[in-house]
Amino acid sequence: MTRFEAMLAQQGTCLDPDQKAAVYSDVNCIVSAGAGSGKTTVLSYRFLRLVLEGKATASEILTLTFTRKAAREMHQRIHRLLLSWKDDPVIAAQLAQFDQAPISTLDSFCSSIVRSSSVSYGIAQDFAIDDEQNLANARQCAMRLLDDEHRSEGAKLISTLYSPEDLIDSVLVPLLTQHYFLPQKVSEDAQRIIIEAVEKRYEQVKESFTSLLLRYSSLGDSSKTVQGVREDAVLLLDGIASSCGEEELFALLASPVGFRKKSGGKSEDLLFIKDTYDSYLEMRRLLCLALAVLNGREQLQSIVTFVQQLVEEYQMEKRKSGMLTFSDVSSLAVEILKENKALRKYFKQRFRYIMIDEFQDNNEQQKELLYLLAERLESEGEGIPKASDLEPDKLFFVGDEKQSIYRFRGSDVRVFKRLAGELTSVGGKSIELATNYRSEPALIEWFNTLFPSIMENNGEAYEASFSSLKTRGANEGITSTATILIKPYEDGERDEEEEEAKDSDAEAYSVACLIRKMLTCDDYLIPSPNGPRRPKASDIALLLRSTSNQLSFERAFRNQMIPYTVQSARSLMLEALASDFYAMLQLALYPEDLHAYATVLRSPFCKLSDASLAQVLDQQQLFSPPAGVGEEDELRLLSTQQFYRSLLQAMASESLSQLVFRLWYESGYYLSLTAHPEYQAYREHYTFFHRLAQKHEQAKHSVSQFVDYLRQNLAQNEKLDDLEVINEVEEGVQIMSIHKSKGLEFPIVIVANASSKGRAQKEKLSTFKGVALPHYLNQRFSVTATKTEVARHAGALFDEGEEQRLELAELKRLLYVALTRAETHLVVSGTFGKNNRALGEGKPADTLLLLMTRSLGLDISNPEFQDGLLTVGRIASISEGSLYQGEGESEQAFLKRLEAVQRWYETASPALEQKPLRYAVTSLVSHEEHSVAADLPLFASDELLMSLEQDLTASFGTFVHALCEQMVLKQELGDVRTCMPSELVKALGERELSIMIEDGLALAAAFIKSGWYQSEVEPYPVAAEVGFFSTTEHEGRKVVVEGSIDLLVDRPDHLLVIDFKTDRRRDAEVHRFQVETYMRAVKRIYQRPVKGCIVYLRDVETIEVWEGVDDDADTL
């Protein structure tokens, strides 16, 4: 028996066979550790064995983790284990040097490598890692290049391809910060590499497409459909044969010619057309994409050159400022170890063993780093070593392919899966820890029936495979449960008598009621050292895929008096605390702000009564009690006045976080809230608000800058990034994202909002052949007779749905992580609506709830089912007031309070003549038609519109405006019906709608193809629907006018205002006031020369541009 085995026996530690095999492994090994299988135990006991058997000292074992929290826990676990054997002389010696044990995150370790050789890359050794500052630097570099008066052709082109609000923050900043890490550059051959790949693909598709057209042209059936397809094929074949070049061929294939509906007959030819028509459409689409890229060679090169310059400037800024990102450090570490063989040798000699936890969350680059460190001592090869070039016993990987859920951070499950094959092929081992010690056996057995079908695959590298889990012994007296709560889709009108709450609120209310039941009955007992007991709120975790509906659950928990804590401050800016604190700080900066003053008076800072509010607002001095005010209100005012004065003095010397502390504690706000049990949850909002103040304090922001930030974000239901707090003790239900829950476990887990499809991200960048670029094309082409698509980049030519498959594969893993957090009881809830049921043949499940219901064979329209531990129940609809009904005050107290203020409310105010103070610009325009108005061309839709009982001419104009704006802004049209006002869709049949669509597209396309648009608009940045407020004289009064400019073109020497009209007659003078009002507003706002024009879409060849306007209005 070895000393290690003797120690285990003496301690009474019993490792299961899988764990023992991993701990005793003395070859390169990859351990697949399922949820709750004891991977930390394996890592710590293997560390102990290596030390006890004299194979390495603590300082020679490099232990790497994915997060700082995991590194701390690993350090503590190993240290405690060594400490329990401190009497052993070998262990005592290692404990004395344990502070030198390299147990850290992979990022931290990479930093130490880079500091050893950073000077070689022009980076000071004292560099800092600051992702926020790098975002700011990236933004500044992008703005510099775009604003340069001598800006490149690429800068000009990219400014026309993206909207101004997207270009910097959604395109160029992500391009720099997520794709080009030091020392990466844009390949000099980028354009050639892309074009060669496109040319090869084009020839392949063209050959198959021509073959299909030849087959169509030879069809002999005499039916009208077959004849039409044959004629189309002959026309296209002739066009392909006679085309003079790529541009002419693109014009042919991009046109609506040659598109038909699928055939429905049963003849041999009709069946052939039916079977091949989807292939015809797809090949034609691919040819259009390829031709668009080939025709856009110059645009591609100009964008490549622009990105090369942008990356160079950004990386120069990194070197000058010494501010790097974690990704920079990881990339540099690999580059340094590849190039600096002496440094590589130092690290190879320093570490005898390397253990890596959670490796499924890493990628190819991080694997390369570890291979470089594990290269044989005598080897000094070029590049990345192969598995056969590694030390045979140095690497020990731990991970679980089923728990790889960080693809958005760059992790790649395929790397972990390939690793086992690489290592075992050269003598390594692959071991699976198959026993789940976390969850009750009944839950594990249920998982074993649920996940095989969910994770079934055909061996794809990006898919995780599930094998049955083994179980531990059950806890006595515990009966596990699995509950699924579903609100089915209800097609029909809601009850108008009592308005129903949103489905998300109904779900939250149902979950809150279930938690209340868990806390007060014996149906959901959990184990404890003293036997089964009822759960406390802190034993429950609410996990969300997306935090978009978090507010509904917070509101429902408050309604049911359930305490909770949150991991992300989703609702902070919607709650009273943020509004009240903003109002007090705003009042301190701007004492004349009556709105802020009124908010403070009614808030817990003062709690002034309704009766006194109006009187106090009339006083000159803030918080001055007027004559006749009640004694209680007078005391409140004087107390608040005293605090307000102390706040003004404190603002001169105290930090932001100190001021927020003062607002919470010294004003009485905290005591006012905690006096009511239902307000306990608001204490956490203060914690987040205080953390927010600390972040602004660290950024050197002043009070006024902080207040500006609050003003812009109040009432926004948005997640505040990187705003996290650490709670010493978790009190209440823990609300967090599924990603945040990874590595944690809870007696009861509720996976809520499981029907969420997540947030759809619009593609704004493309990575093709290893080159990340913005879009460089805007070529529209037809994909059916009525539907168009836009070619933007070469990557679309090769995209065969891989991105969607990767997302769906990760969704399965996300479900596995969520469910396996549960120890004893599990609840899953969600609601089905019109668009999240994945109806239609072959449509994959794209929500957590659908994955489960399909695996279990549940009827989502009738969700009531019971089988063993599983209960499926229906979420009932609730009234909107349900979430706001609490205990409140008694009816007698309410009537007494009402009587006290009755006379004040009943006092009549003198009647006021009510005239609007704000008008739409269009409502002030005279519609008197001039005799000189000229008729414009009519369309088929005009006759149709005139025949309708309801006048829908304006609705048709709105539709055409929307088409024009989407085309100008280079946006996908997709189904153009989504641009139509609902009243137009409802009033027309299918044939009439087709006429409207055809005419609308014709009007919009005429403008886009006009010579005036291509010379005066297309080369310049354009913004659409630019709103503004201005003042003007109307009926002897100064009033506010509100307008929205159709297009605002940013030309070098002036701004151009464009207003679209679909009128049937040209009468520019009727609309001149409207355009000139727009021009005045733009001139005041931008302080630049302005021109304006009306574009009559029925005649885009005659456009009169007006120059200059008198500056006689105030713009707000």
Please determine, for residue 16, whether its predicted confidence score (pLDDT) is greater than 70. Answer: yes
DSSP lists the bridge partners of residue 390 as 375
Please determine, for residue 11, whether its predicted confidence score (pLDDT) is greater than 90. Answer: no
Secondary structure of residue 468 in the 3-state scheme: coil
- Residue 183, amino acid: P
- Residue 595, amino acid: H
Mean pLDDT of the region 367-372: 96
What pLDDT does 724 receive? 54
CA–CA gap between residue 818 and residue 544 (Å, rounded): 9
With beta carbons less than 8 A apart as the criterion, state whether 33 and 400 touch: yes
554 pLDDT band (50/70/90 cuts)? confident
Domains with residue ranges and CATH for the chain: 3-121+325-433 (3.40.50.300), 138-322 (no CATH), 481-566+732-764+816-874 (3.40.50.300), 572-713 (1.10.486.10), 920-1107 (3.90.320)
Mean pLDDT of the region 325-341: 95
906 pLDDT band (50/70/90 cuts)? low
What pLDDT does 839 receive? 84
CA–CA gap between residue 514 and residue 549 (Å, rounded): 18
The CB-side HSE value for 318 (13 A sphere, CA atoms) comes to 31
With beta carbons less than 8 A apart as the criterion, state whether 822 and 798 touch: no
Q: Distance of CA 986 to CAs 476, 584, 943, 952, 975, Å?
A: 63, 50, 18, 11, 16
Which residue from 550, 519, 450 is spatially nearest to 868, judged by alpha carbons?
Answer: 450
What pLDDT does 421 receive? 93
CA–CA gap between residue 811 and residue 846 (Å, rounded): 8
Mean pLDDT of the region 395-416: 93
CA–CA gap between residue 1034 and residue 1044 (Å, rounded): 19
What pLDDT does 682 receive? 66
What pLDDT does 1113 receive? 44
Residue with more model confidence, 617 or 438: 438
149 pLDDT band (50/70/90 cuts)? confident
Residue with more model confidence, 882 or 935: 935
For tokens 């095989």, the residue is 452
Percent of the chain with pLDDT over 70: 92
What pLDDT does 329 receive? 95
Is the preceding omega at residue 981 within 30 degrees of 0, hence cis? no
> What integer best gives the mean pLDDT of the chain?
88
Please determine, for residue 892, whether its predicted confidence score (pLDDT) is greater than 90. Answer: no
What pLDDT does 785 receive? 82
Which residue from 408, 328, 313, 340 is spatially nearest to 128, judged by alpha carbons?
Answer: 328
What pLDDT does 221 receive? 87
What pLDDT does 888 receive? 52
What pLDDT does 575 receive? 73
Query: First and final CA of the chain: distance in angstroms?
Result: 86
Please determine, for residue 801, whether its predicted confidence score (pLDDT) is greater than 70. Answer: yes
Widest CA span in the chain: 111
pLDDT, tens digit, 9 for 90 and up, residues 762-795: 778 888 888 999 999 999 999 988 888 999 999 9
Which structure tokens are listed for 2?
A: 């070895």
- Residue 644, amino acid: Y
How far is Cα of residue 110 from the mean position of the Cα atoms in its chain? 28
CA 534-539-540 angle, 5° bins: 110
260 pLDDT band (50/70/90 cuts)? confident
* DSSP state for residue 663 in the 8-state scheme: I
pLDDT, tens digit, 9 for 90 and up, residues 662-687: 999 999 888 887 776 666 666 777 88
Mean pLDDT of the region 268-274: 90
Q: Distance of CA 245 to CAs 251, 791, 794, 1020, Å?
A: 10, 18, 19, 29
What pLDDT does 1114 receive? 43
Torsion angles phi and psi, residue 565, rounded to 5? -125, 150
Please determine, for residue 840, whether its predicted confidence score (pLDDT) is greater than 80. Answer: no
Percent of the chain with pLDDT over 90: 60
904 pLDDT band (50/70/90 cuts)? low
CA 448-453-458 angle, 5° bins: 120
CA–CA gap between residue 325 and residue 316 (Å, rounded): 14
Mean pLDDT of the region 341-359: 95
Please determine, for residue 881, whether its predicted confidence score (pLDDT) is greater than 80. Answer: no
CA–CA gap between residue 3 and residue 49 (Å, rounded): 9
Classify residue 38 as left (phi > 0), alpha (psi -120 to 50) or beta: left
pLDDT, tens digit, 9 for 90 and up, residues 974-989: 778 888 888 888 888 8
Mean pLDDT of the region 546-573: 81
Q: At what angle do helices 953-968 and 990-1009 cross, to 10 degrees?
A: 50
CA 292-295-296 angle, 5° bins: 85
567 pLDDT band (50/70/90 cuts)? confident
Torsion angles phi and psi, residue 611, rounded to 5? -60, -35
What pLDDT does 197 receive? 95
pLDDT, tens digit, 9 for 90 and up, residues 70-113: 899 999 999 998 888 888 888 898 899 898 899 999 999 999 99
By mean pLDDT, which of 6-15, 463-472, 722-731, 1106-1115 is the weakest? Answer: 722-731
pLDDT, tens digit, 9 for 90 and up, residues 480-520: 999 999 999 987 655 544 567 889 999 999 999 999 999 99
* DSSP state for residue 1033 in the 8-state scheme: E
What pLDDT does 432 receive? 96
What pLDDT does 720 receive? 56
What pLDDT does 992 receive? 86
